[in-house]
Amino acid sequence: MNVSKEDARISLSAAQSVMDQTHKAISSAYANPLLILWGILWITAFTATHFYVHYAYYIFMTMAVVGGLSTTVIIRVFRSKAPVKEKSSPKFGRRVTALWIFLCIYIIIWLFLFAPFTGLQCNALICTAVMFAYIVMGLWFNNRFMIVLGLAVTAGTLVGFYLLRNYYCLWMALVGGGALFGTGLYIRLRWR
Amino acid sequence: MAQLDNIIHQPVRLQIMSSLVSLDKNEQVNFTYLRKLLKLTDGNLGAHLAKLEEAGYVKIEKAFVARKPCTFINVTGKGRDAFEGHIVALKDIIHSGKG
């Protein structure tokens, strides 16, 4: 079979394009609805906390419960529509779930270890710990977006904590919630 | 020097194999998803998959997901090796100045 240099280049380019497209689309199957959900929750919770700071604990507890239940529903719904399934038992999903459970436990441990702390410190700790989990999942899934998102929101959290204390919540609604929502929307629109 | 694979070189089959090798070894992709990703018709995709299955490059399995029949496809080890050999052959052509 004789193939010209140009035809070989075109074939190689086409192959690489499909590989990239497949990898992105599959790795984002769950990502975009969950990012959009948590983006909306962060925007709502942080904005509400800015105006009703005395109710911060109840606002964020509600966010956590609503977010946790919604995440479970979304994963169940999308599992049946997932384009990829594992031939072996779905151990990876259980590992991701275990990651989040252990993260919650460790956050509680850290809060006990570092008490007493301000509400601002507590919130910044939780936000950065959650972003650490995003980075870990980005490394697991070989998903650069998750890693960059985790690093960007961590940086935004530190900027808000050290430089914008009086407007921390509004800043986090914009930077944290906005980044999550925007990334989810971008993935949904561009990686279909 | 690596050889081009006549079966994989066909443009649609090259795309199918490119998509399948992107999965991990224990993963299978849904037929419908593959069809949408590659913008093919059912018949077109089915015919090319049959050719690849005949060559031993892919494995096709039918299963039920949420009580609906689904078809899942994964690349075999033979298919993965053949695809990698084909890619190496393409790169050799590009770098050797042939054609």
Question: Among A125, A96, A94, which residue's Cα sits nearest to residue A108?
Answer: A125
- For B33-74, the pLDDT digits (tens) are 889 888 999 999 999 999 999 999 999 998 877 677 888 999
The confidence score (pLDDT) of residue A90 equals: 55
Q: Which residues of B73-97 are buried (b: 16+ CB within 10 A; e: fewer)?
A: bbbbeebbebbeebbebbeebbeee
**Chain B residues lying within 8 Å of A8, measured CB to CB:** 90-91, 93-94, 99
The confidence score (pLDDT) of residue A89 equals: 46
**Cβ–Cβ below 8 Å for B99 and A26:** no
The confidence score (pLDDT) of residue B37 equals: 85
Rg for chain A, CA atoms, rounded = 20
Contact between residue A139 and residue A147 where contact means Cβ atoms under 8 Å apart: yes
Alpha carbon distance A55, A76 (integer Å): 32
Contact between residue B19 and residue A22 where contact means Cβ atoms under 8 Å apart: yes
Q: How far is B89 from chain A (nearest CA, A)?
A: 9
**Chain A residues lying within 8 Å of B30, measured CB to CB:** 82-85
Q: How far is A19 from chain B (nearest CA, A)?
A: 5
The confidence score (pLDDT) of residue A80 equals: 65
Query: What is the average pLDDT value for chain A, to the nearest integer?
Result: 86
H or E element that contains A166: none
Provide the pLDDT confidence category of residue A10 given band limits of 50, 70 and 90: very high
Closest Cβ–Cβ partner in A4, A8, A88 for B26? A88
The confidence score (pLDDT) of residue A82 equals: 66
Q: What percent of chain A has pLDDT over 70?
A: 88
The confidence score (pLDDT) of residue B99 equals: 45
The confidence score (pLDDT) of residue A20 equals: 84
Query: What is the average pLDDT value for chain B, to the nearest integer?
Result: 88
**Chain B residues lying within 8 Å of A88, measured CB to CB:** 26
Provide the pLDDT confidence category of residue B3 given band limits of 50, 70 and 90: confident
Closest Cβ–Cβ partner in B18, B28, B66 for A18? B18
Q: How far is B98 from chain A (nearest CA, A)?
A: 6
The confidence score (pLDDT) of residue B52 equals: 96
The confidence score (pLDDT) of residue A24 equals: 73
Comparison of pLDDT for B86 and A2, the residue scoring more: B86
- For A22-65, the pLDDT digits (tens) are 877 766 666 778 889 999 999 999 999 999 999 998 999 999 99
Q: What percent of chain A has pLDDT over 90?
A: 53
Provide the pLDDT confidence category of residue B15 given band limits of 50, 70 and 90: very high
Q: What is the pTM of this model?
A: 0.69
**Cβ–Cβ below 8 Å for B15 and A2:** no
Does ipTM come in above 0.85? yes
All residues at 6 or more sequence positions from A78 whose CB lies less than 8 Å from its CB, including other chains: A29, A30, A33
What's the mean pLDDT in A124-143?
Answer: 89
Question: Among A167, A130, A149, which residue's Cα sits nearest to residue A47?
Answer: A167
- Is residue B78 over pLDDT 90? yes
